[in-house]
Structure 1
Amino acid sequence: MKSTEPACQYELKAARDAMEVIQGKWRIPIVIALTYGVKRFGEIQRDIPDISPKMLSQELKALEENKLIMRKLYDSMPVAVEYSLTPLGLSLQNLLVELRNWGKHFRKEIISSSD
């Protein structure tokens, strides 16, 4: 039976919109890395050592397109690029804290239930 509850449909659409922007294995870790400040490409890659340079580049571009991060290009030799969170990206802070807290709780529950 299909739900026709407008409030439910609105909430589901909002959740899908959010998931579309932050889905995948790498976007949340990249945003978390940038919560520690402005970083260059290599610094982000050191924070997330198992991401390939190609994947990091693709995900940075997607996050920039969704206005969660800002890319600043410096006209220097060699060219320098820095990434930082936008105000919209910073607005994820509370969600990320809750996500990490839930992850710690989940991990504890799984470990204690496997004993």
Structure 2
Amino acid sequence: MAKTRDQAEELRALQDTLYFVGGKWRLPVINSICNGNRRFREIERSIPGITTRMLSRELKEMELSKLVKRNVYADTPVLIEYEPTEHCRSFGKIIMEMIKWGRGHRQVVIKK
């Protein structure tokens, strides 16, 4: 017998996902960190148009949401690096599918 889908639960899950990826900068920050950029300035330089303040806010929210881990090394000067958590990395496949879809969509729109 086919399992009945719980539409209310599916809606909550979609809303959670949209909240997670919401905003202009979340996905570019995740993509940057997952592509190997670890230090604040590296991440900032890899995302054209993002402000220092916005990147700082995104990284703080992502840390609270268990998407990135902030590592502080007691060197002189202090070194801070960000790394994606396994939970964050699990979203990588979805990002790649979104990139693929976006490229295809661009071609559909350009062809008119």
Shared fold (TM-score, shorter chain, > 0.5): yes
Secondary structure of the corresponding residue to residue 104 of structure 1: helix
Answer yes or no: is 1:81 the counterpart of 2:67: no
Unaligned segments of structure 1, at least 5 residues? none
Equivalents in 1 of 2:101, 2:63: separation in Å? 27
Answer yes or no: is 1:90 the counterpart of 2:89: yes
Equivalents in 2 of 1:59, 1:49: separation in Å? 15
Deviations 1:3-28 (A, max 9, x none): xx971111010010111122110010
Equivalent residue for 1:21?
20
- Correspondence 1:92-111 to 2 at 5 A: 92-111=91-110
Secondary structure of the corresponding residue to residue 54 of structure 2: helix
Equivalents in 2 of 1:49, 1:32: separation in Å? 13
Equivalent residue for 2:7?
8
Equivalents in 2 of 1:48, 1:8: separation in Å? 36
Contact 2:37/2:43, CA 8 A, preserved across alignment: no
Contact 1:68/1:85, CA 8 A, preserved across alignment: yes
Contact 1:21/1:63, CA 8 A, preserved across alignment: no
Q: CA deviation at 1:78?
A: 1.0
Equivalents in 2 of 1:27, 1:82: separation in Å? 17
Q: CA deviation at 1:49?
A: 2.3
Q: CA deviation at 1:37?
A: 2.0
Deviations 1:17-62 (A, max 9, x none): 1111221100100100111125100000110021000000000111
Secondary structure of the corresponding residue to residue 71 of structure 2: strand
Count of aligned pairs between the two proteins: 109
Identical pairs, percent: 37
